[in-house]
Amino acid sequence: MAIGHFPGALKDVMQRKGDTLAKVGRAAHVDGSQIGKIVKGSRKASKPVMRSTIEHYDDGQLFLAAAADVTGGAFAPWLDNVDLHRASVLFKTVEEMKEVLVASGQVPISKTNEQINEAERHQIKRLLMETVEAITALNHLAAVLCKEYSFSWLGTWKEHRAELKAKKYMK
């Protein structure tokens, strides 16, 4: 079985918190040995275990890892080989957002897919990739701010969803 994103993130969070397998198992409503197998990658975390664990820790890294596993990797990855100091993450996020703005000014967005040539298609692909990089940076910024200033990751997203519903952007 291939190890996913969630086991490594769970191991990181457990180490940061100094938690045992038994403690995590209690939070996830399973035996600690099952958590050990999940962390080692020999057992995949079920959705209920994943949900209980991410709600218990309320940690951005763990949420991103769970989303990546559930979507088969079609989500912002957790960057574990970068400087995650709040200032560094903010500066990188601003840089990535500027790159999106530059790329967005160069695309023929008024044309349909049938109307663009290969060079224009390349410009649109560049905008897409810059956008995904900015999304990754923004997710990290949100996770770092939540952790640094003791905001709830889950609470932040619930508040955001409530605001979107109030504005009638979603049902």
Q: Distance between CA 1 and CA 60 in Å, rounded? A: 25
In whole angstroms, give the CA distance from residue 65 to residue 139.
Answer: 12
The answer to whether residue 45 sits within a structural domain is yes
pTM: 0.91
**Do 93 and 55 belong to one domain?**
no
User: Is the CB of residue 5 less than 8 Å from the CB of residue 78?
Assistant: yes
Residue 48 belongs to a domain: yes
75: left (phi over 0), alpha (psi -120 to 50) or beta: beta
- Asked if 106 and 156 sit in the same domain, the reply is yes
Q: Which CATH number is 42's domain given?
A: 1.10.260.40
In a domain, 76, yes or no: no
Say whether both 22 and 66 belong to one domain. Answer: yes
What is d(CA 132, CA 61) in angstroms, rounded to the nearest whole number?
17
Range of the domain at 139: 86-166
Q: Report the alpha-carbon distance of residue 141 to residue 135 in Å, rounded.
A: 10
- Residue 97 inside a domain? The answer is yes
Q: Is residue 104 part of a domain?
A: yes
Q: Residue 154 corresponds to which tokens in the numbers above?
A: 């889950």
Q: Kindly report, residue by residue over 102-151, the tens digit of the pLDDT.
A: 999 999 999 999 999 999 999 999 999 999 999 999 999 999 999 999 99
Q: What is the pLDDT of residues 32-43, one digit of tens each?
A: 999 999 999 899
Query: Within this chain, do residues 66 and 93 fall inside the same structural domain, yes or no?
Result: no
Sign of CA dihedral 20, 24, 25, 27: positive
Report the length, in residues, of the chain.
Answer: 171
Domain count, the chain: 2
